[in-house]
Amino acid sequence: MEHHTCLIIGSGPAGYTAAVYAARAGLKPVLYTGVLMGGQLTQTTEVENYPGYPNGVQGPAMMQDFYNQALRMGTDIRFGYVTSVDFSQTPHQVIIDETTTITADAVIIATGASAKWLGMESEARLNGYGVSACAVCDGFFYKGMNVALVGGGDTACEEALYLAKLCPKVYMLVRSDKMRASQVMQERVKDDPNIEILWHTETVEILGDNQVTGVRVRNRQSGEENTLAVDGFFVAIGHQPNTAIFEGQITLDEEGYIITKAGSSYTNIAGVFACGDAQDKIYRQAVTAAGSGCMAALDAERWLSHQAYLAKQA
């Protein structure tokens, strides 16, 4: 059984940033990447809204830079997937790949979240080539173009309004005759001249070979199918935090996001910290994830220092 001072679970912007700060603080962190090494950004193309890249950067290349920096600072980066945890004892216990047991004084959770998709072949094939799950991330690339967006919650309304500032036409595809969004968000969407809501509408197929050229939709009442000429297709049906293994171990909200104490990365378990999209359901940006990774490492370092002080006083 291995023991480490600081264990980081996850390898997106939050995890790698936490690793940089923890390593520079002398915590000798061990980081397990998870199955998707580098997180969601490795599945996207050009990133233009992260500071320090004036000409933009490809998502995979950006995460390679994060990896290289964490490695250079002295982080022990390992490919592996956390399959279970036990935070009821100290030091905390984590099982890797169902076989390897690791204990750690401080654990930083940076497991991120995954976008919910429609599950269509054309959606997967054109992901990154006109299909996106983040209007704030990718909307700029469609300035002056027509786009479609599927979803009916508050997030969908927010993304539609964001796109409407850039695009002359935003088709909002809603499966029923009403939205789940709050009334004020619905009114804002309905009042925007650039947004056209198509009720009772479901997506049949996203069209295009190497780039989105349109979307075929079906009216769920009449069965009639139509093709919308669009250059971008945005999926806004929600995100799922990658926190299932922590159920019953730390406090999660009703959607599965880790609850942290206001203004910090502290969870309800001493010595366990959370950062990035696993605990952030509002912003979900690479830069905010990186910032919260910094917070988690600083919180962990200060907590460990306090524990060492208390041990000396005992």
Domains within the chain, CATH numbers bracketed: 2-114+239-313 (3.50.50.60), 117-235 (3.50.50.60)
Q: Tokens 């075929």 correspond to what residue?
A: 216
To the query of whether residue 137 is one of the catalytic residues in this protein, the response is yes
- DSSP of 166-233, one letter per residue? T-SEEEEE-SSSS-SS-HHHHHHHHH-TTEEEETTEEEEEEE-SSS--EEEEEETTT--EEEE--SEE
Give the HSE-up count for residue 220: Cα atoms under 13 Å, Cβ half-sphere: 11
Least confident among 34-43, 87-96, 161-170, 283-292: 34-43
To the query of whether residue 138 is one of the catalytic residues in this protein, the response is yes
Q: At 49, is the secondary structure helix, strand, or coil?
A: coil
Q: How far apart are CA 253 and CA 269, in angstroms?
A: 15
Q: How far apart are CA 128 and CA 132, in angstroms?
A: 6
Q: What confidence tens digit (pLDDT) does each residue in 194-225 have?
A: 999 999 999 999 999 999 999 999 999 999 99
Q: What confidence tens digit (pLDDT) does each residue in 145-201 have?
A: 999 999 999 889 999 999 999 999 999 999 999 999 999 999 999 999 999 999 999
- N- to C-terminal Cα separation, the chain: 27
**Catalytic residue chosen out of the listed positions 6, 137, 157, 275:** 137
**Which whole-number Å values give the CA distances from 127 to 149, 157, 168, 189, 216, in the listed order?**
14, 21, 23, 26, 16
To the query of whether residue 275 is one of the catalytic residues in this protein, the response is no
For CA atoms 256, 260, 262, 263, the dihedral sign is negative
**Catalytic residue chosen out of the listed positions 76, 86, 97, 138:** 138
What are the b/e assignments for 269-281, b being 16+ CB within 10 Å? bebbbbbbbbbbb
pTM of the model: 0.83
Give me the amino acid identity at 192: D
